Structure 1
Amino acid sequence: MKNIEKELKYLKVLSKQYPSISKASTEIINLEAILNLPKGTEHFISDIHGEYEPFVHVLKNGSGVIKRKIEELFSSTIRESEKKTLATLVYYPEQKLELIEREEDNIDDFYRIYIYRLVELCRYASSKYTRSKVRKLLPEDFKYIIEELLNEHVEQVHKQNYYKSIVDTIINIDRAKEFIIAISKVIQKLVVDRLHIVGDIYDRGPRPDVVLDTLMDYHSVDIQWGNHDILWMGAASGEKTCIANALRISARYSNLDIIEDIYGINLLPLATFALDKYKSDPCTCFMPKGSGGEISTKEKTLIAKMHKAISIIQFKLEGEVIKRRPEFEMDHRLLLDNINYNEGTINLKGKVYKLKDNNFPTIDPNNPYKLTKEEEIVIDKLVSSFKNSEKLQKHVSFLFSKGSIYLVCNGNLLIHGGIPLNEDKSFMSMKLQGIEYSGKELMDQMETLAREGYFFKEKSKQKQYGMDIMWYLWTGKCSSLFGKDDMTTFERHFIAEKETHKENKNPYFTLREDENVCNKIFDEFGLDINESHIINGHVPVESKNGESPIKANGRIIAIDGGFSRAYQSKTGIAGYTLIYNSQSLHLISHEPFTSTEEAIVNESDILSTTMLVEHKLSRKTVKDTDAGKKLLDEVDDLKLLLMAYKKGIIKEV
């Protein structure tokens, strides 16, 4: 009675949705049934870095889940070649059907055989879900038909003709192709209940925009921001240092097409400025990486000049932020002060180094961080272009709406980089606007400030501080996304001695092998030390050198295995993904993906190796998940409403 009286106002609102004992009872029965279903499959992917082809393929095949289900279902009933065709049809239905229609003599027979197989596979994939959940995933055009086929019992003789007549009609009215495409996409959705992207969609690879467009159409996704993502988010906010960094990286990897052609950002002012200021400078230290014979020598030279021009602008802009925000503690990165411009040397930590490039036509040695008038014009035009790019703003809005610095989901902590720690295993602390934060609180506050940097009013103090924080998250020592003490961009370009290129990782990356440290982190985030895991990306796992992605006796799983081609020579593979179903955790390592065309024409899948990380004796059900906890609360509320009806406190309608 006390609970009913306390919640009476809310229960009266709830009674409008469930206006009788019968309706409230029915909903309790439905929810209790859902709570006892197996939990849905979660799919974890990190560090995509614009490599859209392998990403889309791994997404379509559910890291091999579809292939495994085909094998389980048809292991002894169809040939291996037919299993491959069925799998490819599920992954790429439109493209595969075009090929088959040209090659098959009797296309109707093919349609009939594979419609039956696809329906059977769809029924098998949907078995862990309620009918209502499956119904929500069905395409409008075929919703009734697919539902009928999924729920028919073909072993019953009197139902066989009904089932057959539906399939025959689909073929006879020339809708087989559309039906196969529709049901294939339903299967893709059913095999993965939720997709987690553990950071770094942007930079290095050719088409991060395709990755984001794909994610925006995905049925259930969340994103943990990576340091490369926050860089582009800062750029879209109009933060000048982030814009300069994003352009520099795009030039370094010959990816300026994404800036100009995809996002419609005008690079002509930068190109014109670079050609004018560095016309006789070969800019050898700034030649793009990995371009090979793909671009002409003339293009390479122009990109190198643009690369150098934006790099110098970046160093100046970063100096402004460092001086503006002493709490960032980054004075040691004010390197332009340390250059002897007459001798072409720099003093770093008491040691003098010869510069590989000593041509600085835009730097005033007496005021090295001051932008020239021409540089100011260039960066102001770039700010305007970034802020007015409709496609970029759409993508960044999506990253804010679906993303966060970290996520606690179903007992696991998902974070791109790591938790900033000191050598003594304590949480690293930082003052923000005069208040000291550490651990979870520091990460929460940084996320709040980053959101202010994007959403707050132009020219407000809150927006400027938030934008500066986005740059800090890209490169600062207390950033959970960066995880190093320095970003030695200047040194890598201008100094030959590799001792100056070193970027020391945060102690987290060695301490994460210690289970006690993991337990401390679990406690900080309110997680179960016996059941939880930390899932990281960011630092490529050098599997070819024997490094294991599984740390601290299975408490931490590092899933950056080299989706980006730039890292594959280091990792020896082409990416890790993680699958978490109702009974086990599987880590999948992938070999390099050839091409989408090869996958469709020759039915070649990514070669993958599956490693069992953890197996539970009893299945996890929906009631064990975060969504299940909410459903349990709903059941409690409905039971309270039921009691209120029975006691006459609330009247049935």
Structure 2
Amino acid sequence: MKKDELRYLQRLAELYPTIGRASTEIINLQSILNLPKGTEHFMSDLHGEYEAFSHVLRNGSGAVRKKIDDVFGHTLSNHDKRDLATLIYYPREKIRLVKKTEEDMENWYKITLYRLIEVCKTTASKYTRSKVRKALPPDYAYVIEELITEKAEVLDKEAYYNSIVNTIIEIRRAENFIVALAELIQRLVVDHLHILGDIFDRGPGPHFIMDRLMEYHSLDIQWGNHDVVWMGAAVGQRACIATVVRNSIRYGNLDILEDGYGINMLPLATYAMETYKDDPCTVFGIKGVSDYHSLEQELGRKMHKAIAMIQFKLEGQLLRERREFHMEDRCLLHRIDPEKGSIVMPDGKEYALRDNLFPTIDWENPYELTAGELEVMERLEAAFRNCEKLQNHMRLLLDVGGLYKIYNGNLLFHGCIPLNEDGSMKEVEVYGETYSGRALYDILESYVRRAFFSVDAEEQKKGKDILWYIWAGPNSPLFGKDKMTTFERYFIEDKEIAKEKKGAYYQLLEKEEVVDRMLLEFGLDPAKSHIINGHVPVHQIEGESPVKCGGKVIVIDGGLCKAYQKVTGIAGYTLIYNSYGLFLAAHEPFTSAEEAVSKGNDIVSSQMAVHYSSKRRLVGDTDNGKALRERIQELTRLLEAYRKGIIKETK
């Protein structure tokens, strides 16, 4: 036996010190390999829509309702099934509602507990008892385990379970048990959650989503461009900070910064009111807000313009410093003619400006911040960097996240793989070296992590600046467009110049040879694997399908964000990958949790099979199964070492 192998087996022997312990673990792992594969749940482009996200998470994109159908079939009416599903999604709220109308609560408790126990048994059946035990709420773990475990030694099972349920009701713990069982079912119907990016911006509750994800039992996150710009803000990259603040103001979401993260907006508000006191700032309106009174709207517009001008200056500074980004054409302030009220764009065309009041621009040095702007940014930077809650949220993104993930034969990322028009991998320069495909993803992620962890000041700064590039760069795999036309949308009437052209990736998704090449680039088998991504909303209203290239590519951004629903026609797609195959769920717009409880509304509108397997997929067919087989081989080698006397048992 080689020295390195012996050393490893000696370490393994510390965990399994006897032949009996090692043998038991082999038997346990072998049994796990033959269980059905756990359910994976894919969500993308949440954009701060916490209530809709929370509901989809609670119902598992229909997984809870499917379990209810599996258990009760035609023995329950659709009305009763819907009520039971709503109870599982919102147990506390549903109980409060039932108590207002139900005359015999004791009977309702008994019926409900039995129904939940049956759903729980079926849901738990695909897991080992050990895994289920870990998921149980500590206060009721023993009793719930008794209720959902078949006990062969008990002759009169009905009497046994009746006595437990009756005792629960008699000691007035029925409501607590109902809540515990409902939350256990929610947890067990989804084994692993994938978030394919863009948690932040647009909607009002990204911080609530992050709080929920921090407590989730098993997940990974593929960063989106909106997440990355928040990561840049958290490490103090000022162009990213200005972008985050501008986006929050634009969508009427200052509460996220002020209440969610405790970032004081008073310095910006004070500066904006002083600097733009005589400026109506009409082109800087607030989107999607109807409850602002006139003074709030006026202040919002002034703050909006103030931070937008700061952003354009900071971006200009960055792009002139980082010539290697090849984005100098996005430096636009020096192209403005203040006398004519126009701008000459890089293509040589001149356009009139919708707003020609620029009190903070020194036309000799148009990208230089004024003293007031500099003070605002210094205070904002300190606030972002010192916000403990924000830093904890960013740490979660780093701990469970990345730019892409390969999981059970699927390639997950948020945006795209930069391609040339002929479908070949595009070479992209990153700090003097060129990369493409998987190597490009890897180097960009490496620099992101340097922004947070490097002790070398220059490497850390490169990482911070690359975060902004990933947000807006034309060759960024998370942006995937030729340019970000923020300036044009504010200042130029002509809508054509504000159009952002999508990269070649989006034009080539139906070409099988291109998709196969991308899968091979990431070490995957094109015959068995899929690309799953979000980022660009699927316009179902125009007949667009989220399933591309015969099912090899699945785009699951269908508009969970309310801002996109007018153009998508639906409220988002999610994906379920269970032991039977891949199933796409299309969602209707979500109204509120209150309506879901009172009317039994569910937002899953339809499901379609993307890939169905006639043979049920087992744990042994997954990445985890591969790891378990390797562990079994190692333990088998340990048994051999014990039996040959190479390693001694320690009892």
Q: 2:583 aligns with which of 576, 579, 586?
A: 586
Output the CA distance in 1 between the equivalents of 2:62 and 2:526. 30
Q: 2:557 aligns with which of 551, 556, 560?
A: 560
1:298-309 aligned at under 5 Å gives the runs 298-309=295-306
The reply to whether residue 343 of structure 1 matches residue 344 of structure 2 is no
The reply to whether residue 599 of structure 1 matches residue 596 of structure 2 is yes
- Residue by residue, what CA displacement relative to the aligned partner does 1:549-578 show, whole Å, maximum 9, x if unpaired? 001111100000000011001100001000
The reply to whether residue 623 of structure 1 matches residue 599 of structure 2 is no
Q: 2:359 aligns with which of 358, 361, 367?
A: 361
Deviation at 1:84, TM superposition (A): 1.7
Q: Match of 1:224?
A: 222
Output the CA distance in 2 between the equivalents of 1:497 and 1:151. 67
Q: Match of 1:320?
A: 317
Do 1:152 and 1:163's aligned partners in 2 also have CA atoms closer than 8 Å?
no
Q: Match of 2:502?
A: 505
Q: 2:207 aligns with which of 202, 206, 209?
A: 209
Q: SS state of the match for residue 381, structure 2?
A: helix
The reply to whether residue 88 of structure 1 matches residue 109 of structure 2 is no
Amino acid at match of 2:60: G
Q: SS state of the match for residue 85, structure 2?
A: helix
Output the CA distance in 2 between the equivalents of 1:77 and 1:620. 28
1:233-248 aligned at under 5 Å gives the runs 233-248=231-246
The reply to whether residue 311 of structure 1 matches residue 308 of structure 2 is yes
1:14-413 aligned at under 5 Å gives the runs 14-152=12-150, 158-292=156-290, 294-348=291-345, 349-413=347-411
Output the CA distance in 2 between the equivalents of 1:575 and 1:226. 16
Q: 1:543 aligns with which of 540, 544, 552?
A: 540
Deviation at 1:25, TM superposition (A): 1.3
Amino acid at match of 1:466: G
Q: SS state of the match for residue 431, structure 1?
A: strand
- Residue by residue, what CA displacement relative to the aligned partner does 1:38-64 show, whole Å, maximum 9, x if unpaired? 110000000010111111001000001
CA, structure 1 residues 395+5, in 2 after alignment: closer, same or farther (shift >3 Å)? closer
Deviation at 1:154, TM superposition (A): 9.2
Q: What residue ranges of structure 1 are gaps of 5+ in the alignment?
A: none
Q: After alignment, is 121-130 or 617-626 more displaced?
A: 617-626
Output the CA distance in 2 between the equivalents of 1:616 and 1:528. 17
Q: SS state of the match for residue 588, structure 1?
A: strand
Q: Match of 2:430?
A: 432
User: Normalising by the residue count of structure 2, what TM-score does the alignment of the two structures yield?
Assistant: 0.98
The reply to whether residue 526 of structure 1 matches residue 523 of structure 2 is yes
1:407-426 aligned at under 5 Å gives the runs 407-426=405-424
Do 2:154 and 2:160's aligned partners in 1 also have CA atoms closer than 8 Å?
no
Do 1:154 and 1:163's aligned partners in 2 also have CA atoms closer than 8 Å?
no
Q: SS state of the match for residue 206, structure 1?
A: coil
Do 1:425 and 1:517's aligned partners in 2 also have CA atoms closer than 8 Å?
yes
Output the CA distance in 2 between the equivalents of 1:635 and 1:440. 31
Amino acid at match of 1:37: L
Q: SS state of the match for residue 200, structure 2?
A: coil
Output the CA distance in 1 between the equivalents of 2:61 and 2:30. 31
Q: After alignment, is 282-291 or 429-438 more displaced?
A: 429-438
Output the CA distance in 2 between the equivalents of 1:350 and 1:206. 40
Q: SS state of the match for residue 284, structure 1?
A: coil
- Residue by residue, what CA displacement relative to the aligned partner does 1:490-512 show, whole Å, maximum 9, x if unpaired? 01100001121011111001112
Do 2:416 and 2:478's aligned partners in 1 also have CA atoms closer than 8 Å?
yes
Q: SS state of the match for residue 43, structure 1?
A: strand
User: Normalising by the residue count of structure 1, what TM-score does the alignment of the two structures yield?
Assistant: 0.98
Q: SS state of the match for residue 574, structure 2?
A: strand
Amino acid at match of 1:512: L
Output the CA distance in 2 between the equivalents of 1:460 and 1:20. 51
Q: SS state of the match for residue 557, structure 1?
A: strand
- Residue by residue, what CA displacement relative to the aligned partner does 1:189-246 show, whole Å, maximum 9, x if unpaired? 1100000000001111011111111111111111101000001111111110001001
Deviation at 1:432, TM superposition (A): 2.3
Output the CA distance in 2 between the equivalents of 1:254 and 1:208. 14
- Residue by residue, what CA displacement relative to the aligned partner does 1:466-511 show, whole Å, maximum 9, x if unpaired? 1100000000012111111100000110000112101111100111
Q: SS state of the match for residue 578, structure 1?
A: strand
Alignment root-mean-square deviation, CA: 1.4
Output the CA distance in 2 between the equivalents of 1:218 and 1:608. 25
Do 2:62 and 2:604's aligned partners in 1 also have CA atoms closer than 8 Å?
no
Q: After alignment, is 76-85 or 195-204 more displaced?
A: 76-85
Deviation at 1:86, TM superposition (A): 1.0
The reply to whether residue 463 of structure 1 matches residue 460 of structure 2 is yes
Amino acid at match of 1:556: V
- Residue by residue, what CA displacement relative to the aligned partner does 1:438-486 show, whole Å, maximum 9, x if unpaired? 11111111111111112334x8112211110000000001211111110
Deviation at 1:31, TM superposition (A): 0.5
% of aligned pairs identical? 54
Aligned residues: 649
Amino acid at match of 1:365: W
Amino acid at match of 2:618: T
Do 2:207 and 2:260's aligned partners in 1 also have CA atoms closer than 8 Å?
yes
Do 2:123 and 2:188's aligned partners in 1 also have CA atoms closer than 8 Å?
yes
Q: What residue ranges of structure 2 are gaps of 5+ in the alignment?
A: none
Q: SS state of the match for residue 609, structure 1?
A: strand
Q: SS state of the match for residue 7, structure 1?
A: helix
Amino acid at match of 1:555: K
Output the CA distance in 2 between the equivalents of 1:330 and 1:623. 48
Output the CA distance in 1 between the equivalents of 2:429 and 2:586. 40
Do 2:403 and 2:413's aligned partners in 1 also have CA atoms closer than 8 Å?
yes
**Runs ≥4 in structure 1, deviation > 3 angstroms?**
153-157
Output the CA distance in 2 between the equivalents of 1:27 and 1:153. 23
Deviation at 1:361, TM superposition (A): 0.4
- Residue by residue, what CA displacement relative to the aligned partner does 1:606-637 show, whole Å, maximum 9, x if unpaired? 14100111111222211221111111110010
Q: SS state of the match for residue 217, structure 2?
A: coil
Deviation at 1:155, TM superposition (A): 12
Q: SS state of the match for residue 254, structure 1?
A: coil
Output the CA distance in 2 between the equivalents of 1:263 and 1:146. 38
Output the CA distance in 2 between the equivalents of 1:268 and 1:621. 56
Deviation at 1:71, TM superposition (A): 1.5
Q: After alignment, is 55-64 or 20-29 more displaced?
A: 20-29
CA, structure 1 residues 5+619, in 2 after alignment: closer, same or farther (shift >3 Å)? farther
Deviation at 1:89, TM superposition (A): 1.0
Q: Match of 2:478?
A: 481
The reply to whether residue 650 of structure 1 matches residue 647 of structure 2 is yes
Deviation at 1:159, TM superposition (A): 2.2
Amino acid at match of 2:520: D
Do 1:49 and 1:208's aligned partners in 2 also have CA atoms closer than 8 Å?
yes
Q: SS state of the match for residue 82, structure 1?
A: helix
